[in-house]
A and B are shown apart, each in its own frame.
Chain A
């Protein structure tokens, strides 16, 4: 039975030890670099959010949590894929946690919200994942740079792919009815029509469409191919309904954005051979950088990474390269942004650098689903590039001024 006195003494000793311990920590010159990280940890996009977190952490762990001679501290704010939450969390990270710069967010419609915080406070934002075209075209903020992709950037090459590689002339387009879906689909349609292709039908589906039987039933009989841009749970639903309604016997289907690695474990071998995506990343990219990345990720997280993971990993790589080049002096925001805009990196997905409008120029890969044997995971489905469009800019083959004059892709 402890007396009060004994308890008090134990506590005092413990506190003293703690204080001594803290005092004994080596003094740092400038302290750690604090990165404000904004993934959706809970909410409807918790799964891509988890990949984003995993990818980012994996990079820093591989690099000893340091850059430019300083330690890296990651402070996370859960955006729940909600712009208001994203805004408040961004403000918390900037004002309360005093981060040096922010990385994220993931969801497209959170992009403008977090950009706004960057604009108000001058704290740089490295936009990883969120793809809204606006951010690097019409509504640019000087303190925001994007390291992932601009939505229509992946749509443009696919229109050409449909016409030239697949020889299609009368395509039905199915797109998810929100900004990302619009920009990808309309981007593909733009280049497809420019080559002379005809749109058999354009069908928009709200996010969370429960069954694709309806949509499938409206596909014109005389179409020679169906191109789909689908996100979230709808990807699996369309996949199931396509086969269950016997559509696979009638038409061919191609994913502009459809089958990514995060949901491949949920579909079966009927997916093998399907064109999965036209995207800036595919797990089957055959380079040493990507192999190393995929293997490390698979070993740690027991799954094949999707572009969300790679995007965050590469954001880490990009940021570290920039920080190293300015000797860790992230307090000089202009220098940091300039470094981000000038460094060129070799990411798992290929060579990257920013264009004059702060969006990466990068390869776009049209990829097919393939079944392969992974040393750590056994039989898995991955996406393997079948055609690579190199150094694609967000403006495709247009001049920036021309493209901007056309205005955003709107439904």
Chain B
């Protein structure tokens, strides 16, 4: 059945455009998830100069706990709460008794937190086994919805975008428009001065760290609903979060936002257009960026 060349080109263009839009939404939904994890990571680095490689494991454990809670109670909200709070408690102990003694030695931090991640990973394997587990999506978010333009898209991912965006706005407001946020910003710029003004820096750190931990656990539950949880998932997500943080600049909230969007879009478009080179599409630009601007887009010189 022959059609005039113009018509098939128009068809191709239409499907290409809808592909572009679809990938953009896919990318932003992944960006939302990455932001939840990366924002905590970047803030703990910015404020406390701590590189915590156990964030992926926090994500995984939080997710598994959320999975079990959701199964037992049927409540997604409770799952998020429990997942987040568990990591807050765990994170507190790790910070206080393991990370604090070693000070600002990044090398030691990496080794220690990798060790912690290994232990958490094995504990998860022992408790939840090796199956790919999926956190149950609440019924009102199941299935898809029709978007303007005829695109049918999963409700859950749209909700994820909403969650990510609101978290970003909330954090931004907290960071830039509140007193506590101002103190944190001052602490990122110059810890000693903040200490000198009599503000309890330790308590501040604990607060920021707790928030970061909660976000990691939350990310696990939320991510576990569409990415599934399994051994190794903690490293997959951590690598992406690291790229976000490098590209955006360590210690910068705006960087985490922008970095998440860039990585999410690169991942989506990369997989769509060049699936063979998916890692290259992600890491290539990152490597190039770092060579020219070693601290990332919004990072500060050390």
A interface residues, Cβ below 8 angstroms from B: 42-50, 177, 204-206, 208-211, 213-214, 217-218, 232-233, 235-237, 240-241, 243-246, 262-263, 265-266
Contacts and interface: CB of A to CB of B under 8 A. Distances in A.
A233 B130 contact: no
B232 interface: yes
Contacts of B13: none
Contact of B132 (A50, A210, A236): A236
A44 B19 contact: no
Contact of A217 (B19, B155, B233): B19
B193 interface: no
A206 B276 CA distance: 8
B132 A266 contact: yes
Nearest to A44: B232
B132 A213 contact: no
Contact of B275 (A48, A50, A206): A206
A217 B22 contact: yes
A382 B130 CA distance: 20
Contacts of B236: 208
B228 interface: yes
B14 to A, nearest CB: 11
B22 A43 contact: no
Interface in B224-251: 226-228, 230-233, 236
Given A214-B272, A246-B152, A47 B130 contact: yes
A266 B71 CA distance: 11
B132 A232 contact: yes
A42 B19 CA distance: 38
B265 to A, nearest CB: 12
Interface string B114-141: 0000000010010001111110000000
B130 A45 contact: yes
Nearest to A80: B231
18 contacts: A43-B130, A44-B230, A44-B232, A45-B130, A209-B271, A213-B26, A217-B272, A218-B19, A232-B132, A232-B230, A233-B227, A233-B230, A236-B132, A236-B228, A240-B134, A243-B143, A244-B156, A266-B131
A192 to B, nearest CB: 23
Contacts of B230: 44, 47, 232-233
B129 to A, nearest CB: 6
A241 B227 CA distance: 11
A245 B129 contact: no
Interface string B256-272: 00000000000110011
Given A47-B131, A214-B23, A244-B144, A237 B271 contact: no
Contacts of A177: 275
Q: Which 6 A-B pairs have the closest CB atoms?
A: A46-B130, A244-B154, A246-B152, A47-B130, A233-B132, A47-B131
Contacts of A243: 143-144
Given A214-B268, A214-B272, A236-B228, A245 B122 contact: no
A50 B130 contact: yes
Contact of A47 (B129, B134, B157): B129
B31 interface: no
Interface of B: 18-19, 22-23, 26, 30, 122, 125, 129-134, 142-144, 152-157, 226-228, 230-233, 236, 267-268, 271-272, 275, 278
Contacts of B278: 206
Contacts of B156: 244
Contact of A214 (B18, B26, B133): B26
A266 B134 contact: yes
Contacts of B142: 244
Query: Quick one: which of B129, B226, B268 has the most chain A CB within 10 A?
Result: B226
Contacts of B268: 214
Contacts of B232: 43-44
B132 A42 contact: no
Contacts of B152: 245-246
Nearest to B236: A208
Contact of A210 (B19, B23, B154, B267): B267
B150 to A, nearest CB: 10
Query: Quick one: which of A214, A240, A265 has the most chain B CB within 10 A?
Result: A214
Contacts of A44: 130, 230-232
A210 B131 CA distance: 17
A241 B23 CA distance: 14
Given A44-B231, A210-B30, A210-B267, A240 B226 contact: yes
B154 A46 contact: no
Contact of B131 (A211, A237, A245, A263): A263
A213 B22 contact: yes
Contacts of A214: 22-23, 26, 268, 271-272
Contacts of B19: 217-218
Given A42-B231, A43-B130, 10 more contacts: A46-B231, A47-B130, A217-B18, A233-B227, A237-B228, A241-B154, A243-B144, A244-B143, A244-B144, A262-B131
B151 to A, nearest CB: 9
B72 to A, nearest CB: 16
B227 A237 contact: yes
Contacts of A233: 132, 227-228, 230, 233
B88 to A, nearest CB: 27
A245 B278 CA distance: 23
A244 to B, nearest CB: 3
Contacts of B125: 42, 46
Given A244-B156, A245-B144, A211 B130 contact: no
Nearest to B145: A246
A58 B204 CA distance: 56
A247 B161 CA distance: 22
Contacts of B272: 214, 217-218
Contacts of B153: 213, 244-245
B29 to A, nearest CB: 8
B242 to A, nearest CB: 16
Contacts of A210: 30, 227, 267, 271
Contacts of A205: 275
